């Protein structure tokens, strides 16, 4: 598994359903997260559209085919929602803002740049409680993962450093003359 165990813990509720309804529920949940992220980001940015236009903008995004295609079997909506919640709660509830940013750890290789930028911003603007919220939540995710499967950390590091051959993309072959 190339993702950390806490990613599977986030996805565990979908595993409780039979296969077909699980796929539909996951897809719907990802689109709902994209919708919520759009609405939250527009509000956090202070866009003066009002509730109806903001809701329409969220609906347009989730109907946009590249978003729908990229949502099939993917979890990038966790990243979008985590960043949107972080920016929404930045001033009012900075600990919760940091906690929300932990959603970007669902796929750490995709979340490290936006999370790193926001952590750097928090440090430079004296919003250190955002960093505390993120660190506390990440430690809780780590503890839950270790509690569920103590050996997972070593296995995950091994899988990331030495991925199985079926995961590694083969280099294109050069045609012989």
What HEC string does 37-93 produce? HHHHHHHHCCCCCHHHHHHHHHHHHHHCHHHHHHHCCCCHHHHHHHHHHHHHHCCCC
- Structure confidence at residue 167 (pLDDT): 66
pLDDT in tens, the chain (177 residues): 678 999 998 899 999 999 999 999 999 999 999 999 999 999 999 999 999 999 999 999 888 888 888 787 789 899 999 999 999 999 999 999 999 999 999 988 889 999 999 999 999 998 999 999 999 999 999 999 999 999 999 988 888 888 877 766 655 555 555
Q: Which residues contact 30 (CB under 8 A, 6 or more apart)?
A: 71, 74, 75, 76, 77
The closest alpha carbon to 14, from 3, 27, 1, belongs to 27
- pTM of the predicted model as reported, rounded to 2 decimal places: 0.85
Residue 97 near residue 85 (C-beta atoms within 8 A): yes
Helix, coil or strand: residue 149: coil
- Structure confidence at residue 36 (pLDDT): 95
Q: How many residues does the chain have?
A: 177
- Residue 30 buriedness (CB in 10 A; 0-12 / 13-18 / 19+): buried
- Structure confidence at residue 11 (pLDDT): 92
């Amino acid at each position: 598994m190339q993702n950390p165990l806490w990613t599977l813990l986030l996805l565990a509720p979908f595993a409780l359903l039979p296969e077909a309804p699980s796929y539909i529920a996951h897809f719907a949940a990802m689109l709902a997260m994209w919708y919520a992220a759009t609405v939250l980001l527009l509000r956090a940015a202070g866009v003066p559209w009002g509730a109806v236009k903001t809701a329409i903008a969220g609906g347009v995004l989730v109907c946009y085919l590249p978003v729908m295609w990229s949502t099939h079997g993917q979890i990038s909506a966790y990243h979008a929602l985590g960043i949107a919640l972080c920016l929404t709660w930045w001033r009012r509830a900075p600990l919760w803002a940091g906690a929300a940013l932990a959603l970007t750890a669902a796929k750490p290789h995709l979340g490290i740049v936006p999370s790193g930028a926001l952590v750097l911003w928090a440090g430079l603007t004296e919003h250190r409680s955002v960093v505390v919220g993120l660190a506390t939540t990440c430690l809780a995710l780590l503890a839950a993962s270790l509690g569920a499967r103590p050996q997972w950390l070593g296995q995950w590091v091994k899988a990331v450093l030495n991925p199985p051959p079926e995961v590694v993309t083969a280099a294109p072959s050069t045609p012989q003359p």
